[in-house]
Each structure stands twice: as structure tokens, then as C-alpha cells.
Amino acid sequence: MSSFAYRRSVLRLATGVAAIALAGPGLAVVTAGQAVAEQEPAAQLVQRAADQVIVAARANVGAAREAGIRRVLEAHFDLAYMGRQTLGNYWNQTTPEQRERFLKANAAAEARAYAERFGQYRGQTVTVGRVNARGNGVSIVDSTLNQTDGAPVALQWEVRNDGQGPRIVDVKSEGVSMMMTKRGDFVSYIRNHGGQVEPLITELEVRAKR
């Protein structure tokens, strides 16, 4: 459990950086040229997600804020895809009932993690820049988190379009992937519990209710 706790602390750091990028009182999103926002669906998605989270964060507190943030995540992030990726090969070992419980608990934990970090930051801006198409419906949106009390932080948003419209599937802070960090966290926990996914699902369900 101590190993899992350590990896969770690393994940909190990465999540916190992404939360700054998405929202928080005083946050503004700035595009690097109006043409980018107007022509690139991936850039539009990143800006739209940030704008909506700002509204949710400013308008609500406590459980209402968490619920508002979760609605934005569900609208603009592909939480099902992200959940499958974080389990890696263990996804294939789960039953349909376990998959449903895992995705539900994971989404609730994500919303709580983001909501807990709102209100901690002031005056940041995010500059949305170049969009790089990687093929197979995947685009990488470069952006910069401009801080009032620290050096700028490079953020990359991975946007995936599987034919149902673009959705965010990962955020990298200075090259560190939130999704891969979380995958390492989950896989380590599963291995430390006899290679069984059920203990992880139970842990997430408990964490979501705290």
C-alpha cells in the first residue's frame, strides 16, 4: 500500500498541473491567433473545455462544484477510453460488471481530484498554440501555462476523434503523461494485490465517496 500511496502522490502532482490548465478562479484561455481557434476542432475543444470548467468552478462550491466539473469531463474527455488505457492488459481480465463499476468509480475519482484543486490558483493564463495531426484521428494541441509566480509550464493535450467527434484523452505536463502516470499507479496496485482488479475497483469506489 505504501508503493501505491507514493505513486498516488506523483499522480496528484500531474493532475494538479492539468487542473490549473483547465480552470480555477482568475484563469483565462488565450489562443495563439484567432485562426487557430476558428479552424482547428482540437484547439476549439481545449478552449471550450477550459471555459466551461471556469464557469463551473466559479458558480459552485463543494459537491455542486464537483458535479459541475464531472459534467465537463464527461462532455469533453473520453473517460471510457482513458479508463481502459489505465488498466492496460488487465482490462481484458475484467467482467462486464467490473468494467462498469470501474469506469463509474474512476470518473467520480477524476472529478473529485480536479474539484479539490480549484481555488488554489490565481491569475494564470493558458495560451493555446500549434496543433499537430498525428494520424488515426489523433491531434496534439500545444499550450503554455503562464504563471504569475513561476516559470511557464508546457502542456500538451492529446485529442482523439474516433468518428464521434474530438475528445481529450490525455494531458502532458513537461512531457509527463497523466494517463500513463495513472496507468503505472493502477498496475502497481493490482500487482500488489495478487494481480486482481477487484481490490482496485473497491479502493476507487471508497475514494470517490470520501
**How many whole angstroms separate alpha carbon 189 and alpha carbon 185?**
6
Calculate what percentage of the chain has a pLDDT beyond 90. 38
CA terminus-to-terminus distance, the chain: 18
Beta-bridge partners for 143: 128, 155
Q: How far apart are CA 51 and CA 45, in angstroms?
A: 10
Model confidence, pTM: 0.77
pLDDT score at 117: 61
Using CA atoms of 199, 77, 157, 48 in order, give the dihedral in degrees to the nearest 10: -150
Q: What is the distance between the alpha carbons of residues 101 and 203, in angstroms, rounded to a whole number? A: 11
Between 3.40.190.10, 3.10.450.710, 3.40.50.1000, 3.30.70.100, what CATH number should domain 2-209 receive? 3.10.450.710
Cell of 90: 488487465
CB-based contacts of 79, cutoff 8 Å, min separation 6:
73, 103, 106, 107, 110
For the chain, list residues with pLDDT below 70: 1-39, 54, 57-58, 60, 114-125
pLDDT at 18: 55
